[in-house]
Every structure is written in structure tokens, then in C-alpha cells.
A = this chain, B = another copy of it.
């Protein structure tokens, strides 16, 4: 269905804001994108980002507007995890089946590219223009230097809030009665660190792997960039024995890296300097509802559902919001009330599901990776799944390599958990799990469900 061209404002020029601008331009709408920050193409990065892992949902959203190939040029496929456990050689875990991979992309490089593409598509960008207030029923926005300065008023037909976890647009919706909202921080923070390229520009570690140094309560990860460097992220408790608070000097940082990450020894100087140069960031799960106001305002991406990064799905979920919005625009044309109503109804349970899955992955990584029972369970699941790939698709694959709803992945994952709970009760399961008996037990339990 075609749509009557509207005058649309997007608040936020991040990944979601710029992709939405491209979609809306394709539909013939006028699009102005406001951002309180300067043009990211003109500045150095913040030193606070985690590399992105684009997976199927993200690619599908880009493919729909013909951008998949252009973005793959700046991405590196990772088909496996590389596990760095002390006193053991690095070992690799394939993510999925042959040909399945997640793609590492630098947030800064992708964001610049997306803004370029949105401009090519005819969107107007207004950087350094801060939105302080929104009149929801009249779709007006107010911008100005500070909250107390003179404001400029703009009138639009529709406003999209793509302004992230601390969204100003949502902030305004939050003041209405009957708006549900929650923000929950975890006790772990993160810091961006860099492993530079070799002198010849090649990568210092296998470039087609997602590198993980799991250390119980903390963890280092590294994802490759196209310039040969790795963007690393150190996840560490804010407070406690080994924590951001406890590491006070470069000397202490060097000792920390040497003790826990001996195989990155050569880069310790660099890592230790980054440790004090880059900020420590917090991670939050943010949920809210409703996401829309009449046919006037809608929240998309992190402004509607911010999640912790442990499933690598934040951007993918935001891009999928846009894909779904677009399908609804095609189905309902100018009936924006219906588009927005169906959008929030369809997306809310899926956003809640990926929030839950991401939080569970955090708990799993912090506390379960050393639990022999947990590791046994994972081994049995892998073994069974290899025998019956049609009957047991792991949740990770359902989230990462499929386009089925997140809520479905969560529900099936819960079923699989309860099946495995029964299996782990079987006598001598620790030693005798590669058996016909275990296989039949699982098949039987799958039949029941």
C-alpha cells in the first residue's frame, strides 16, 4: 500500500535513527533527523563502544532497502568463538552450521556509513540541535541550547524517538499516567580497550573469531576491525575484590592484565593506558509501555527497549523494529494509528524476550561457565542437536540465525531447559550420556511437549 507523504522528524542519528530515515525516504516521506551531538563523521569516537555483531535480523532489515552488500564491505564474519582459558591452548566453538556467522562491525564506522546513506536517500540531518521537550498530541518538538534557553518550535506530522536508552522523547511519555517503566542496572561495568594491528596491518589474533577470555566474575572479549585492530571490551564488577574500583593505578592495571590475561601480554602497555583513558560505562535493561502516542509519536530501538549487550542483539532488535514497522506501513497505508498500535503489540513481547535472554546470558557467563553440571548439559545438548538437528535447534541459533520471534526462542528455550533438567536427573548421567537411553529420553520428552 502506498502512503501519503508526511513530514516526519526522527530524534537521534544513531544506527536506528539513520536506518529508519532511509526506510521512510523510500516511502516518499520528508525526513529530518535531529541529534543533540555533533555529526559523528566529524569527531573522534567516545572510547565507550562495544563492537557490533550483526546477525540475521539486522541483515534482513538492511537487505530490504538494498544495503546488505554495502555494509558487508565494512564487516568481518565470525563463525566461531575462540575461548582463551589460562594454561590451555585456545579452543574454538562453531556458532552454528556451515555458513552461519555473526559479523563484527565498528559502531563508529557503521554509524558514519548509515548517515551517509541516509543523506544520499534525501534525509536532512540537524546536528548539535538539542530536543528538550515534545508536545505529544500535536507532534511538536522544542529545541535549544539549554533546557532554560529560548526554544525553537517545530511542527511535524509524526515524530520517531530513536534517541536511545535515555530517550528524551520517552522521558516526556513517562510523565503521563499509566506509563509503565523500569530501568535496572547490573553491577558490572565495561570499558573499551584496543589491541592494535600488526605493523603490516594484519590481525594479531584469528580475525574470524569472537575472542573470549572468561574469568568467572569478569571477562574480556575482542572483536576484529577491518583495519587489523581489535576492539576489546572488559566486563568487570564496579565494586569488590577485583573491580573497576579496586584497580587504581596503571601499575595495578598492568598486574591485572598480566595475571588474568597472560596471552595478551604483548599489548599490556596499550591496554593499561586505555584502561585509564577510556570511561567506564554502566549497562541497563530498560522496559516501558506503551511505545506510541496516538498516530503521532513512536519509540524505536533502545528508546523503547534497552538491553544488556550479552547476546549481541541490541542493534539487531532495533533494526527488526524498523522491518516490522515497514511491513505494517505496507499493510495499513495511511492508517498510522493502526500501524503504531500493531507495531507496539507485536514488538513488545519480543523486546521483553530478548531483554530476558540477554540478562540470562549475563548471569550464565558470570556464574555458570565454571559449573560442571552446566557444562555437562551443554555437551549433551550439542550431542543431541548434532544427531537431530531438526528436533533441537539451540536458543542461540534461534536468536542469532533465524528471523522467528524472540518470544518463540525464549519459550522453546524454556522447554529445552525443563527437558534437560529431567535428563540430568538420570542415574550416572555424568559418565553415561552418549547413550541410546539418553537420546530416547529426550525424544520422549520432546514428544510430550
A binding-site residues for B, Cβ under 8 Å:
147-148, 166, 174-175, 177-185, 238, 282
Contact = CB atoms under 8 A, between A and B. Distances in A.
20 contacts: A147-B147, A148-B148, A166-B175, A174-B183, A177-B185, A177-B282, A178-B185, A178-B238, A178-B282, A179-B183, A179-B185, A180-B183, A180-B184, A180-B185, A181-B181, A181-B182, A181-B183, A182-B182, A182-B183, A182-B184
A305 to B, nearest CB: 14
Nearest to A177: B282
A367 to B, nearest CB: 20
Given A147-B147, A174-B183, A181-B181, 4 more contacts: A177-B282, A180-B184, A182-B182, A182-B184
Count of chain copies: 2
A179 B184 CA distance: 7
A179 B166 CA distance: 12
Contacts of A183: 174, 179-182
A282 B178 CA distance: 7
A136 B182 CA distance: 22
A44 to B, nearest CB: 22
Contacts of A179: 183, 185
Contacts of A175: 166
Nearest to A185: B178
Nearest to A281: B177
A168 to B, nearest CB: 11
A282 B180 CA distance: 12
Top 7 A-B residue pairs of the complex, sorted by shortest distance between their CB atoms: A182-B182, A178-B185, A177-B282, A181-B183, A178-B282, A180-B184, A180-B185
Nearest to A187: B178
A184 B147 CA distance: 28
Nearest to A150: B148
Contacts of A282: 177-178
A359 to B, nearest CB: 13
A189 to B, nearest CB: 9
A179 to B, nearest CB: 7
A183 B148 CA distance: 28
A183 B166 CA distance: 16
Nearest to A166: B175
Q: Which of A147, A166, A175, A178 has the most CB of B within 10 A?
A: A178
A63 B180 CA distance: 38
Contacts of A180: 183-185
A174 B185 CA distance: 12
Contacts of A182: 181-184
A150 to B, nearest CB: 9
A294 B367 CA distance: 31
Nearest to A178: B185
Contacts of A166: 175
A238 B182 CA distance: 22
Nearest to A238: B178
A177 B174 CA distance: 18
A175 B167 CA distance: 11
A150 B80 CA distance: 59
A11 to B, nearest CB: 18
Contacts of A184: 180, 182
Contacts of A174: 183
Contacts of A181: 181-183
Contacts of A238: 178
A213 to B, nearest CB: 25
A183 B170 CA distance: 14
